[in-house]
Structure 1
């Protein structure tokens, strides 16, 4: 029987998809390597599986700080997914 994904796990998955889209658009450019690194960090959040694990991984940093504030500013289309993940973590961790 498959286990139920946590709210934060689902939100992290959506964040990964948004970052993947940005990375796909950058393939062949100098920015693609940095976006690939950010994609890897988002996968780390997903692998944490729940809000408690994600908070431990973040170590009192915001998701923007964890992924890299400069990268996040350059990719405003992922803002909504970051906000959704932040809300999911707060909701689940409360």
Structure 2
């Protein structure tokens, strides 16, 4: 029986999906390498979310946008709602 993913993990997964869409749209372009690196960083966020709590050490005091790359996020506004959703679930976890 597969384990149930937490809301935090689901939010991290949605961020990965949003980033993958951006990366896919850029396939074959010079900028796709940067998007691929951002996608790898987003997987680090998913790993931090495993188990239903977020290890804030992965961010090192940065925001999610800073961790992914502020400039990249600004150039890819379609991911902002997923970032906000993940941030909301991180905050909920800290308050619990």
Q: Could you tell me how far 1:5 is from its partner in structure 2? A: 1.6
- The answer for unaligned runs of 5 or more in structure 1 is none
Shift of 1:2: 2.7
Distance 1:51 1:68 in 2: 23
Deviation for aligned residue 1:3: 2.4
TM-score by length of 1: 0.93
Q: Which runs of 4+ in 1 moved over 6 A?
A: none
* Corresponding position of 2:60: 59
Can you give the 5+ residue segments of structure 2 that lack an aligned partner in the other structure? Answer: none
Deviates more, 1:15-24 or 1:44-53: 44-53
Matched, 1:21 2:30: no
Kindly report the root-mean-square deviation, in angstroms, between the aligned alpha carbons of the 2 structures.
1.1
1:37 corresponds to 2:37: yes
Offset of residue 73 of structure 1: 0.2
1:10 deviation in Å? Answer: 0.7
Pairs aligned (count): 93
TM-score normalised by the chain length of structure 2? 0.91
